[in-house]
Amino acid sequence: MGIQVEIVTPERRLVSGEFDLVTLPGVDGQMGIMRGHAPLLSTLDIGEIILHAGSDTQYIAVSGGVVEVRPDKVTVLADTAERAEEIDVERAQAALERARQSLAENPPPQRRVVMEAALRRSSLRLKVASRRRMRQRQAPTFEESEA
């Protein structure tokens, strides 16, 4: 028996299901959560949520938020979140280039913090999207599985 996971953003419910293991990007480092975990309330950093259910793994880019953990349920209230398959790679690449260019122009400190966060989010989105492409290449085709 797994742990129930709900991931919601202000716009929608992204995930609602049962998983064996949830890995979350806490502000103090990665957290692994399984059924029976001690209650916990934490802030999330920009990072990757990884959901494991049997042999299936799902990747989600999250730009921060909060998580509540109970022994039987994980609830994530994310600022923004996207599944790997939803990420527009070209758009993420363009955002990364814009953030790099803005940082190269030596912005004032308060603007620099915003640009560094944009750079982290864009890099994360590209990383998560690439996991989907890697998984697709690794998945055997019907012919390969029959051989």
Per-residue pLDDT tens over the stretch 78-100 = 999 999 999 888 999 998 898 89
Confirm if 48 and 60 have CB atoms less than 8 A apart.
yes
Average pLDDT over residues 45-68: 95
Single pTM value for the model: 0.81
pLDDT of residue 132: 67
Strand partners, 66: 43, 77
**28 has a pLDDT exceeding 80:** yes
**37 has a pLDDT exceeding 90:** yes
pLDDT of residue 140: 46
Q: What share of the chain has pLDDT > 90, as a percent?
A: 61
Average pLDDT over residues 115-121: 89
Structure tokens at 141: 């085709």
Q: How far apart are CA 123 and CA 56, in angstroms?
A: 24
Q: What share of the chain has pLDDT > 70, as a percent?
A: 89
pLDDT of residue 136: 53
Instruction: Indicate the SS3 state at residue 140.
Output: coil
Q: How far apart are CA 24 and CA 76, in angstroms?
A: 9
Q: How far apart are CA 97 and CA 104, in angstroms?
A: 10
**61 has a pLDDT exceeding 80:** yes
Backbone φ and ψ of 13, nearest 5°:
-90, 115
pLDDT of residue 9: 96
Query: pLDDT category, 103, cuts 50, 70, 90?
Result: confident
**44 has a pLDDT exceeding 90:** yes
Structure tokens at 12: 């929608």
CA distances to 96, 118, 125 from 37, in Å: 36, 33, 28
Q: Which helix (H) or strand (E) holds 3?
A: strand 3-8
**147 has a pLDDT exceeding 90:** no
